[in-house]
Amino acid sequence: MQQLENLLERIIRRLNINLRGFDFDSGLFLRGCVPLPQLFKFYAFYAVTTRHPIHFHFSNSNLAGSYFLGKCKVDNAILYKSDIRGDELKSKGDAFQHRSSNLTLDQDELIWITDSFLIKTLVHNNSHDPENPEIYHIKNSAACHYANIHGAPIEGSFLGAFATVDLTALHGCVVGPYAYLQVGELWHQKVEEGRIWINQYNSFDFRYTFPEETLKRYVCLEPGKPPRGIFMDFIDDRKKDFRKVFDVVNMEPTISIPQTSSVSRYGVIKPETQVGENVLIAQRAYIENSVLGKGANAQENCFIINSWLQGNNVTAHGAKLIDAQLSENVFVGFNSFIRGLPESALTVGKGTIIMPHTIIDLNEPLSIPAEQLVWGYISNPEELKLQSIPLKQLEITTSPLKIGDMEFRGSGARFVATFQNRINHILEANGAYFDGAKNRGHAQNGQNVSYNIIQAYPIGPQQGIFPTIDIQP
């Protein structure tokens, strides 16, 4: 596995050069955090459908356990159990609007990952970067366990475990564990762990940081080891259920699924689960003893256990729901951890937005009203008061606002509208509004996928490296 070891060192070297201003050694975190033999244990797979233009090209890379959809090129990279989703790639000739500029793509959009190490990372394109409309590039970068890279390119950057970079192009940044960024673009900054920061140019700014000691219980990172804490323990406890779905080539569905819904054959569906119309359950989602009402969607790496979702619910990438009852149109953002009490489920009223990276882990029964914005760490009704605001109240805010540790500036109305438009886009793209003819989305188009399985060289100096492969229509 000499070539694989060389590849890892090459990536560390290139990333460190980008981060030399911080004197940051990514090798401390990347070496040993996934033992190398794990990297040739798993196959990689890519989806072939008639609805997504495909072009895959993989060279000098390890892709163990990773999943690809759409157009994607990977060179000199290690993608360990990562999901690389290109189902909203733009096409040649498509218009791309940024503020007042209109751009036209001169070739089909492509995801291109070079000299990078992504660990269990979700990459979703729908790129909003106006500088590189044709190439969604992840370069000289590393992302640790369960990070999300969403809708913007990154270069020369390091993301800690469970960090999310959302609609934010990163250049030479270090992002701490469980930090969430949605700020458009960021140059050479260190973002502390548990920092939640949403900024829209000339419109609004939202900031919150988790208390350090609280966060450590949920996610804690030490050099050379996988992350520890409640998040990892929770995931590890359910690991074995995934083994079967990845071991079998053709899985038969275990529950009945309406024709307008789709359940990935790489998801885990345990008894007693019910799935309504227009539901999308992505690969690596885990659903147990839950009801997913019409138009609900369960994204990659999410867990929904002993819960009831009434409809049009988004459970975003990496979100976890346990013992919860969500009314219609409740949104749960990236990597949130929402756990009610077994004897008293958390209830959440209609239209409430649970922000990305929110931890609700109850010690006492709690009911969250309708139409709220909720963030931060909440374990009881008292804490809810300091980590939530009614959307109606936020909508009329124009002056700076401080609630608990949260600081908000700018236009509350634009903040709420931006969030709601985006939730609406997600529901629409996922097919929640399909009426049998119009508004098809991933739930309808995600059926009829064929999965293709590729493996690395099993022994020798190339052990763990995948052959060069090129797949076109």
Query: Which parts of this chain interact with its own copies (CB under 8 A)?
Result: 43, 48-50, 54, 246-250, 448-460, 462-463, 467-473
Residue tagged 């370069």 (tokens): 139
CA-CA distance, 308 to 327, in Å (whole number)?
8
Report in angstroms how near the CB of residue 467 gets to its own copies at its nearest: 5
- 3-class secondary structure, 270: strand
* Torsion sign, CA atoms 28, 236, 312, 256: positive
CA-CA distance, 162 to 159, in Å (whole number)?
8
Report in angstroms how near the CB of residue 135 gets to its own copies at its nearest: 21
If the CB atoms of residues 107 and 468 are measured against its own copies, the closer one turns out to be: 468
Closest CA to 150 of 22, 175, 49: 175
If the CB atoms of residues 233 and 470 are measured against its own copies, the closer one turns out to be: 470
CA-CA distance, 455 to 15, in Å (whole number)?
26
Report in angstroms how near the CB of residue 279 gets to its own copies at its nearest: 20
| Strands lying side by side in the sheet with 353-354 | 262-263, 280-281, 297-298, 314-315, 331-332, 353-354, 372-374, 388-390
- How does DSSP assign 168-220, residue by residue? EEEES-EE-TT-EEESEEEES-EE-TTEEEEEETTTEEEEEE--HHHHHHH-B
Report in angstroms how near the CB of residue 293 gets to its own copies at its nearest: 28
275-308 burial by CB neighbour count: b if 16+ within 10 A, else e?
A: bbbbbbbbbbbbbbebbbbbbbbbbbbbbbbbbb
Mention every residue, 6+ apart, whose C-beta is less than 8 A from residue 30.
8, 11, 12, 117, 142
Report in angstroms how near the CB of residue 267 gets to its own copies at its nearest: 16
If the CB atoms of residues 131 and 470 are measured against its own copies, the closer one turns out to be: 470
**Contact between 78 and 7 (Cβ < 8 Å):** yes
Report in angstroms how near the CB of residue 176 gets to its own copies at its nearest: 37
If the CB atoms of residues 401 and 469 are measured against its own copies, the closer one turns out to be: 469
Report in angstroms how near the CB of residue 76 gets to its own copies at its nearest: 15
If the CB atoms of residues 433 and 457 are measured against its own copies, the closer one turns out to be: 457
If the CB atoms of residues 96 and 246 are measured against its own copies, the closer one turns out to be: 246
- How does DSSP assign 358-379, residue by residue? -EEE-SS--EE-SSEEE-SEES
If the CB atoms of residues 237 and 247 are measured against its own copies, the closer one turns out to be: 247
Closest CA to 334 of 315, 362, 312: 315
**Contact between 266 and 246 (Cβ < 8 Å):** yes
Report in angstroms how near the CB of residue 265 gets to its own copies at its nearest: 12
If the CB atoms of residues 11 and 54 are measured against its own copies, the closer one turns out to be: 54
Report in angstroms how near the CB of residue 117 gets to its own copies at its nearest: 21
- 3-class secondary structure, 429: helix
Report in angstroms how near the CB of residue 317 gets to its own copies at its nearest: 25
φ and ψ of 50, to 5 deg: -90, -10
